[in-house]
Structures are given as structure tokens and as C-alpha cells.
Amino acid sequence: MNQKNIAFNLFKKISNLSGKTALIFFSLLCSALPAQAVNFNFTYSDDTSTSQKEAFEMAGSMWKELLQDDVTVNIHVDFADNNRMPTNVLGGAIPGFYSSLSNQDRTGYQAYKQKLRDDRESDNDYKVFDIENANIPNNYIKDDWWVYMLRDKDLPFVNRMVHSYGVSLTRANAKAVGMINPHDSDVDAVILMNKLNGLNYGWTTDYLANEVGYWNFDLTSVAMHEIGHALGFVSSMDYFDTNNFSDTLARHATFTSFDMFRRGSSTQTWQTIDMNNQSGSYFSLDNGSTALGQLSTGQDTSLGADGYQGSHWSAFDGVEDLMDPTLPTNRRRTVSYKDLAALDVIGWDANYDGLNFDDLDSLRNLAQSQAANAQSTNPVDSLNKMFNQYGWGGSGRGRSGFRQDMDLADYLAQEGLFQKGAFWSHMQANKASVPEPSSILGLLGLGLFIKGYPRRKTTK
């Protein structure tokens, strides 16, 4: 029962006694009640500065304006030396995944679909459950499994239909729909940021500064982007390359809630999910009839992909959104309608009015206060629990174990999480050319890349 319902019940009990006074009391009580919203609980590595913490707390506060779920999202933030990070990467997110859904669990998709149906709030939520048009995957399938189309990499003009009973959710997404305890205290995601040391670039940590700076990247923008991945803006397309492309079991275990809305030109006739790497992939709320936004199609260009992780909007659509794969210097980003709508339909309760961000000064003041009291620690036990359950829905990976004395970036690289499971943000330097996609590493969190960055001239 939400807070206003509680207040209304109280109003009914006292209305017979108080008349007009009760109505005034009820109005005042409702206006004083805080809106239900997601809560972000950040922990930080010891070398995270106060100003860097402020940027993350600001990013969390901005997302909080947009998400109305009574959920606590636990995120650990670490900063790594540039030489320990993949080339041209600003940062990356490694979300924990809800691991009980697999192809053997024939209630997985059905249970998630029912959760979405029960959680409908917005017009977009109702649009995807338009039964007449079968906008949520429901065509050619039963209620407990869904169909996707995959183009054979060896026979590029041959499409094949594959079905799956499971769907994989980030832990935060699973909390939002009530599949796990919404206030579970375990770590839900790790965000690893580049210190940018040894480069000609730096971070601007104040989102409201007059300018970011020609040689600086906006830290709050990158933090918001990585949080977006933790919330569920992730595609299983980023798990596959030419080596494991045809691993059907892995595909069953890794398909995400985000993938359910992935469509393309090759699947319009069949109205099925499109997991092909070729161009033309888009996110659709009406089973492919229209596109909310164009999507990136993966890093392995040998499969016909565009070179950027599929867990992003397209880098080539001419539109700037928070969940684009690259970020230029001297530029800020904010959450767009597209970004929020995608999270809305996978299970979050969206507050579209919050996109105006009417009082950023107050949010910054709050972020500064939270940063001053933020915890600097490595929650080793919780991190190990997440890493050992990791694997896009798998568990028991038998990892060697992260220790307090270890460097987190080194550990993640050693365990292969830089290659499978991380979502990167890439650098896109001001007015510079785009690098060859093959030079961009991928899966460490849905991160942002530096895109063709120039070199600052030095004087002797």
C-alpha cells in the first residue's frame, strides 16, 4: 500500500468527526509525503576523491527524479589507472544478474511477463501489452516462451527462428519488478572508472560548472550512463562474437529484458525479436511498427556489426542520448525520453515529468552532503558473491576470489570480465574523427569510449 493510500484511509477514519478540517488535514498530509523513488547506495574505493563522489551522488539523484520504484540499488565505484583499463575507455559497468532464469526454468519468461503486466503504470507500459497487436513478444509463441531470429553467420542470407523460456535481468531490474527483494543489501553492480592519468584529459566533476572544458569529460554524464546499464539497459548481443555466435545454450541463458524489444528489418514480417548483428536494429514498443530509437549492433564487425556494443543507442543516428556508446569532451549529457522509455517498459516506474530537472541546484547540494558522508570501502564479500554468480544468468563460475589487497581492475581483467560482461563508455574527443571500431574493446560494463581523440600540443 502506498503512502497516499495510507493517508486516505486515515482521512476516512477521522472525516466523520472533523468534516472540512479532515479534508484540510488530508491535503496537507499528502503534500508533505515524499514521492516514492529509487534509492542509490554507493560505496567507493579508498582513492575516490570527494568531488568524484559528488559527481556520482549527483548522477544518482538525477536518476532518482525519474524512477518511482521503492527499490535500493547498491553500486560499488572504483577508479583505475589508465594503463589498467581497455584502450579509449572512460569507464564501464558490470551489473550483477538475476541468475535463476535459464532455458530449463520454463516459468522464467512467463513469470517476468506477468510481473510486467501487474506493474503497468505509463502509456508505454500499456502499449507494449496491446494484445490485439501483440506488441510484447507473444506472436507465434506460447505465453511461457518467446521467439527470436538469428541470421546464420556462415549463411548470411539465411535466418533461423529460435525460442527461449528464460530472460535474464540485471539485479536492479529484477528488484524493480519484484523478482528479488527490492532492498536486498548485496552489491547490484560495479562501476569502474578511468582515472585518465597519463592522458591529456581530465574529469570535470561539477555538473553545473559553466563549462566542461575542451580537454575534459563530464564525470556526472558518464556516471549516469553507467548507472543506466546497471538498471537494465543491456543486451545479450554483447556476450557473443564470431567464436561463440552459434552457442544456442548460451543465448538461452543470456537474453535480457532489453532484448525483448529489439526489432529489425529482417524480422518485421514475422514480428519476432531481432538478434542479428547487421544494421537496421532498433528498439520498438509496438512490435516493430515504429522505432523508439536505432540501436548499436555489436563490436564484432566480422558479423556485420557496427563496432559498438549492442547495449547502446546507435552512434550513427545523429541524435545525442545518454545511452549512446561515446561521449565527446566538453559535453554534458542527460537522460532523454528515449533512455527513460526503454527502462520504463522493462519494469521501472518512470516519472517523465522529472525529465525537466527543475531544481538541479538543490540536487547538487544534496549530492555534496551525501558525498561528505559516503562510505569508502571494498565490500569484498558482497563483490565476490556477485562475481561468482556472474555469467549472464549462470552461477558457480568458480572464480578465484577478490581480496581486499587486490586491485579491482586487475582482478576483473584476470577473470575475463573485461571481455565478457562489461559495458563500456568510450571517449569521443572534440571535433575528432571516429576511430576504427575494431580498436574499441568491449564488454567491461556498458562503458563509454574516447572516439578518435586528438593530442594536446605540448611546449618545451
Secondary element (H or E) of residue 264? none
28-35: Cβ within 8 A, 24+ apart: 30/4, 33/3, 33/4, 33/7, 34/3, 35/68, 35/351
- pLDDT (mean) for 378-407: 70
Nearest to 232 by CA among 401, 363, 116, 146: 116
Q: Which residues pair with 295 in a beta bridge?
A: 313
Q: What is the pLDDT of residue 65?
A: 97
- DSSP-assigned letter for residue 457: P
Our separate counts of H helices and E strands in the chain read: 12, 18
Asked if residue 32 has pLDDT above 50, the reply is no
Structure-model confidence comparison of residues 206 and 429, the more confident one: 206
Nearest to 408 by CA among 427, 425, 392, 386: 386
Asked if residue 51 has pLDDT above 80, the reply is yes
pLDDT band at 385 (very low <50, low <70, confident <90, very high): confident
Q: What is the pLDDT of residue 140?
A: 36
Q: What is the pLDDT of residue 35?
A: 58
Nearest to 7 by CA among 26, 22, 28: 26
Distances (CA, A) of 180 to 9, 73, 171, 186: 29, 12, 8, 11
* Rounded Cα gap, residues 144 and 165, in angstroms: 6
Task: Quick: pLDDT tens for 167-214.
Answer: 889 999 999 999 999 999 999 999 999 999 999 999 999 999 999 999
Asked if residue 38 has pLDDT above 50, the reply is yes
Q: What is the pLDDT of residue 415?
A: 72
Q: What is the pLDDT of residue 109?
A: 78
Three cell numbers written together for 392: 549472464
- pLDDT (mean) for 435-454: 40
What share of the chain in percent tops pLDDT 70?
68
pLDDT band at 398 (very low <50, low <70, confident <90, very high): very low
Task: Quick: pLDDT tens for 65-119.
Answer: 999 999 999 999 999 999 999 888 999 999 998 865 543 455 577 788 888 888 8
Three cell numbers written together for 332: 554534458
Strands (E) in 51-188, as ranges, are 72-80, 89-95, 97-98, 146-151, 159-164, 169-170
Lowest mean pLDDT among 188-192, 208-212, 393-397, 426-430: 393-397
Please say whether the beta carbons of 94 and 422 come within 8 A.
yes
Please say whether the beta carbons of 220 and 58 come within 8 A.
yes
| Residue extents of the structural domains in the chain | 1-33, 34-450
Please say whether the beta carbons of 311 and 282 come within 8 A.
no
Asked if residue 455 has pLDDT above 50, the reply is no
Structure-model confidence comparison of residues 433 and 21, the more confident one: 21
Structure-model confidence comparison of residues 340 and 412, the more confident one: 340
Task: Quick: pLDDT tens for 331-381.
Answer: 999 999 999 999 999 999 999 999 999 999 999 999 999 999 998 988 888
Question: β-strand 375-376 against 326-328: which pairing, if any?
Answer: unpaired
Alpha helices in 211-278 (DSSP H): 219-231, 248-254
Mean pLDDT score of the chain, rounded to an integer?
A: 77
Q: What is the pLDDT of residue 451?
A: 52
- Highest mean pLDDT, choosing among 5-19, 245-259, 269-283, 350-364: 350-364
Three cell numbers written together for 404: 581486499
Q: What is the pLDDT of residue 400?
A: 61
Asked if residue 159 has pLDDT above 90, the reply is no
Structure-model confidence comparison of residues 375 and 13, the more confident one: 375
